[in-house]
């Protein structure tokens, strides 16, 4: 299951997304004997070429990078040269192509399904993966295979460097990659992220990487392209993308900032947004399909506000207004309450309700019990019964009793 969360305007949590980051253009080409190439022979040839291609990317070698592109495809060659240049400052520790299959399209043409796997040095505990579909043709004159087309696979989206030249800023706990952003903007984001990381470690003492990769695209539309989504992200200040709960490993995450929304926030709001998103990175391995959105988003908000001197009604203004009107929510927020419905007040109340539930647990039972509940819920493979069992085992309560205590907390602190 993929899982990502978004935070938006006024420092509020403003919607969630779910993606697995995707990859850039792939190339392949090699020398083969004249005549038809059996499928297995083509596989071997393509696989060997992809290995050489990977080495060219790691060494930023334009000649090797372009050697397997169709010599007559001027536009494709120019685009790929630009893409390699866009990658020049990105610190890659690995870059590998895994050939999944080739499908013959005639005697001299194949379609290759390829998985790109890469890591950023010192930041990615597991590879980012991307599916690509690459079209190749064999030139009978020289026996070489050349790429004639490349498109994302079914689950793939664009990478940042496909959107332009990547500027890189290194922080103490962060690596910030931006396109179309100034060095000053990226350094400010790095400083805020560097402050967020220790705040998250204080709230989540369990071991985690303690460092974050932050992507800053040029525009809101470019953010949507990175996520492979058609949703409206104009009110979203940042999201986190990554794969949840992979057993035995903590996959690569990216915090993606929407500069148009992020820049409207003051320093406090920016700090809350990046601390919230960094919390998702830290808790990723303990978050699963069993974790309800109110708990994952509420915990991230609780961690973001934990060390801030803010009254509850300032942290949860929409929910406080509803409570004062006598509109106490009947139940904890459902996952559907966190969707993009065009109702920002409803969305704000959902996030605030999740935060209030986590704050109530920390106030009543203690922070260690809040962490234990989060881990206990995430340890389940399925949603059914996960929260009920964790409430009973960790807090000694039932869902009905818990909801009543949450209502009492809302009246006491927001009424």
Indicate the CATH number of 39-156 among 1.10.260.40, 3.10.450.50, 2.60.40.10, 3.10.105.10: 3.10.450.50
Dihedral angle at the C-alpha atoms of 262, 266, 270, 272, nearest 10 degrees?
Answer: -130
For residue 401, what are the contacts with CB-CB under 8 A and spacing of at least 6?
Answer: none
Helix (H) or strand (E) holding 181: none
Residues 18-41 have a mean pLDDT of 36
Residues 220-240 have a mean pLDDT of 89
The domain spans of the chain are 1-21+157-286, 39-156, 288-415
For residue 336, what are the contacts with CB-CB under 8 A and spacing of at least 6?
Answer: none
**Considering the entire predicted model, what is its pTM?**
0.86
CA distance 164 to 147: 22
* Sign of the C-alpha dihedral computed for residues 284, 21, 126 and 113 taken in this order: positive
CATH 1.20.120 assigned to domain 1-21+157-286? The reply is no
CA distance 374 to 296: 8
DSSP string for 316-335:
SHHHHHHHHTT---SSSPPG
Per-residue pLDDT tens over the stretch 182-224: 999 999 999 999 999 999 999 999 999 999 999 999 999 999 9
Quick one: pLDDT band at residue 412, thresholds 50, 70, 90?
very high
Per-residue pLDDT tens over the stretch 360-384: 999 999 999 999 999 999 999 899 9
* Residues facing residue 132 across a β-bridge: 114, 152
Query: With pLDDT > 90 as the criterion, what percentage of the chain qualifies?
Result: 66
Helix (H) or strand (E) holding 96: strand 92-104
| Two tokens, residue 94 | 């690995």
Q: State whether residue 153 is helix, strand or coil.
A: coil
Per-residue pLDDT tens over the stretch 64-111: 989 888 999 999 999 889 999 999 999 999 999 899 999 999 888 999
Quick one: pLDDT band at residue 11, thresholds 50, 70, 90?
very low
∠ CA 200-361-414, rounded to 5°:
100
């Amino acid at each position: 299951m993929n899982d990502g969360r978004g935070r938006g305007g006024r420092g509020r949590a403003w919607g969630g997304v779910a993606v697995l980051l995707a990859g850039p253009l792939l190339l392949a080409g090699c020398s083969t004997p004249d005549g038809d190439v059996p499928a297995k022979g083509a596989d071997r040839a393509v696989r060997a070429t992809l290995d050489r291609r990977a080495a060219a990317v790691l060494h930023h070698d334009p000649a090797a990078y372009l050697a397997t592109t169709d010599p007559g495809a001027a536009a494709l060659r120019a685009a790929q040269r630009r893409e390699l240049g866009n990658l020049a400052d990105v610190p890659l520790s690995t870059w590998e192509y895994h050939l999944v299959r080739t499908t013959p399209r005639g005697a001299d043409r194949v379609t290759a399904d390829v998985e790109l796997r890469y890591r950023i040095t010192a930041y990615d505990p597991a590879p980012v993966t991307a599916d690509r579909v690459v079209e190749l043709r064999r030139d009978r004159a020289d026996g070489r295979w050349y790429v004639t087309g490349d498109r994302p696979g079914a689950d793939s989206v664009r990478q940042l460097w496909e959107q332009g030249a990547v500027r890189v800023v290194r922080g103490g706990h962060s690596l910030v990659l931006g396109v179309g952003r100034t060095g000053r903007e990226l350094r400010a984001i790095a400083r805020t992220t560097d402050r967020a990381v220790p705040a998250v470690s204080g709230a989540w003492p369990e071991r985690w990487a303690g460092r974050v990769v932050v992507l800053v695209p040029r525009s809101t539309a470019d953010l949507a392209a990175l996520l492979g989504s058609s949703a409206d992200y104009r009110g979203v200040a940042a999201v986190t993308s990554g794969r949840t709960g992979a057993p035995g490993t903590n996959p690569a995450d990216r915090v993606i900032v929407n500069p148009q929304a992020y820049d409207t926030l003051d320093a406090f709001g920016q700090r809350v947004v990046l601390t919230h998103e960094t919390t998702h990175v830290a808790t990723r391995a303990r978050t699963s399909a069993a974790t309800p959105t109110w708990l994952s988003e509420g915990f991230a908000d609780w961690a973001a506000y934990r060390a801030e001197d803010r009254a509850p009604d300032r942290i949860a203004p929409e929910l406080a207004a509803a409570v004062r009107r006598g509109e106490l929510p009947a139940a904890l927020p459902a996952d559907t309450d966190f969707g993009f419905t065009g109702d920002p007040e409803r969305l704000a109340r959902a996030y605030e309700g999740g935060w209030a539930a986590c704050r109530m647990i920390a106030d009543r039972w203690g922070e260690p019990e809040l962490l234990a509940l989060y881990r206990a819920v995430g340890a389940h493979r399925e949603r059914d019964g996960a929260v009920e069992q964790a409430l009973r085992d960790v807090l000694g309560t039932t869902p009905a009793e818990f909801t009543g205590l949450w209502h009492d907390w809302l009246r006491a602190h927001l009424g």
